[in-house]
Structure 1
Amino acid sequence: MAIQIVMDDTGDSRHFFEQTDPKGLAEVERRFKQLTDQGFTAATRKAGSELKVTRSFDPTAEETLFYPRLVGG
């Protein structure tokens, strides 16, 4: 089972899905596009590897972490 973790100002939300389920993959791909269009940065991890920033949806990633753009001032 894979997971998408979305970090925001309220904490985080976790969305688990089966990578073999076409309907579930369509939903997580939609969420990926929606969040990255909103300015979130996405980083993926496959089993035993480090996080890697990505700009495209990877259905084979075990974990995708979304974090908001940093705002300075």
Structure 2
Amino acid sequence: MAVLLVMDHTGDTRQHFDPNDSEQLAWANAHFNELTADGYTAAVRRSSGEAALIRTLDPTADETLFYPRLVGG
């Protein structure tokens, strides 16, 4: 099972999906697009341990992290 990990002001939400199930994968793609359209940044952890920004859902990633835009001022 893969997981979409969404960070926000309340903490985090984990949403699991099976990338081998076409309906769940379609849901994950749609959710990815919604979150990134809302301003979230998406990243995955590579095997080296480094985080990498992504622009499309990587169904082979175990975990995709979404974090909101940082606002300073």
Please indicate, yes or no, whether the TM-score normalized by the shorter chain is above 0.5. yes
Structure 2 residue aligned with 1:2: 2
Deviation at 1:52, TM superposition (A): 1.1
Structure 2 unmatched runs, 5+: none
Report sequence identity in percent: 53
Aligned-residue offset at 1:60: 1.2
1:63 maps to which residue? Answer: 63
Residue 53 of structure 1 and its aligned partner are, at CA, apart by 0.9
Aligned equivalents of 2:34, 2:17: Cα separation in 1: 17
Write the distance in 2 (CA, Å) between the matches of 1:49 and 1:17: 24
Q: Counterparts of 2:48 and 2:37 in 1: how far apart (Å)?
A: 26
Question: Which aligned runs of 4 or more in structure 1 are off by greater than 6 angstroms?
Answer: none
Q: What is the rounded CA distance, in whole Å, between the counterparts of 2:48 and 2:12 in structure 1?
A: 22
Pairs aligned (count): 72
Cα RMSD for the two superposed structures: 1.2
For structure 1, which runs of at least 5 residues remain unmatched after alignment? Answer: none
Helix, strand or coil for the counterpart of 2:56?
A: coil
